[in-house]
Amino acid sequence: MSHANAALTPRARLRLARLIVEDRWPATVAAKMFMVSPITARKWAARFRAEGPAGMIDRSSRPRSMPGKTPAPLVKQIVRLRWRRRLGPAQISEELGIPASTVHAVLVRCRINRLTHIDRVTGEPIRRYEHDHPGSLLHVDVTKFGNIPDGGGWRFVGKQQGDRNREATAKRTGKRHADYEPNVGTAFLHTVVDDHSRVAYVEICNDEKAVTAIGVLERAVAWFADRGVTVERVLSDNGSAYKSFAWRDACAGLGIKHKRTRPYRPQTNGKIERFHRTLADGWAYARFYGSDTERRQALPGWIHFYNHHRRHSAIGAPPISRLNNLAGHHS
């Protein structure tokens, strides 16, 4: 496609060239008709004589040779220092004796100009992946949020009032820790995220035992099945629930292949880890809740908003949009 400021499109170039070559128009007259210079008109006429209509299409403007281009061995040195020692452009510039602007340009071309693009452990560029269809892989995990005492938590009412609310809630429920400190409890959110679409399924439970995780998985699989998605694989961390024989048998019964992340590598399950942060910012701590019941009642509405209305930055659309077009009729 021609650039925005091009005077001629490929179709107009062909008409111009044919007027000059086939109809014997003077180049100056044809150029005036198409409002371009005679030099431009002669250029397209010459290309039409040499290549025919195929010569009218756009060509790359990249030069055949670039004498000023940074040599490949030097590029490798810059990348190696960035990966292995995590040095910035100024430090690499001083070590190699080249301008910092050159170092920065190389880092940008290699897409490692930001340290967030480099794995903290290995120093290698982060390799992102995405399965090609819904249900190919589900990420599962559990995240925990402290329950909100009656009257609100300390994040919104302050530490002193928050402590008083916790104490009043403990008196009402009779729940205390071993040291007699008030115990308002913990909410265990079992989360399931589809790798391709980022559609999320969430349940609030009272524990993270294997039997609970299995129940969530079975209901999630049924929920996705109602939307035309067949689950093939599930990826989890190495939590006790996911290492149990019961979980293994449940996955086999559902016809799902179970995969686990490498120990101490949460990046492998990064999509669901990022969803947990979104869940915390968008629901758990987004506004004041007068009680834990009020916050729990707000979860289904927020999940609907996340799946159906919130634009996901990784896919450029709400997650549900990738489930509503499974047959490919609208793409």
pLDDT tens-digit profile of 299-324?
999 999 999 999 888 888 899 998 87
pLDDT, average across residues 166-193? 90
- Look up the pTM and report it: 0.63
User: Residue 16's pLDDT band (boundaries 50, 70, 90)?
Assistant: very high
- The CATH number given to 138-147+185-322 is 3.30.420.10
**Domain positions in the chain:** 10-55, 72-117, 138-147+185-322
pLDDT at 330: 43
Closest Cα partner for 201 from 313, 323, 297, 300? 300
Residue 225 pLDDT > 70, yes or no? Answer: yes
Helices 72-85 and 100-109 meet at what angle, rounded to 10?
80
Distances (CA, A) of 209 to 188, 250, 277: 10, 14, 23
User: What residue type is assigned to position 84 of the chain?
Assistant: R
What is the residue-averaged pLDDT of the chain?
88
Residue 289, SS3 per DSSP: coil
Identify the CATH assignment for 72-117 out of 1.10.3470, 3.30.40, 3.40.50, 1.10.10: 1.10.10
pLDDT at 174: 87
Chain-centroid distance of CA 202 in Å reads: 19
pLDDT at 268: 77
pLDDT at 329: 42
> How does pLDDT run across 68-122, given as a tens digit for each residue?
889 999 999 999 888 778 888 988 998 999 999 999 999 999 888 877 666 655 5
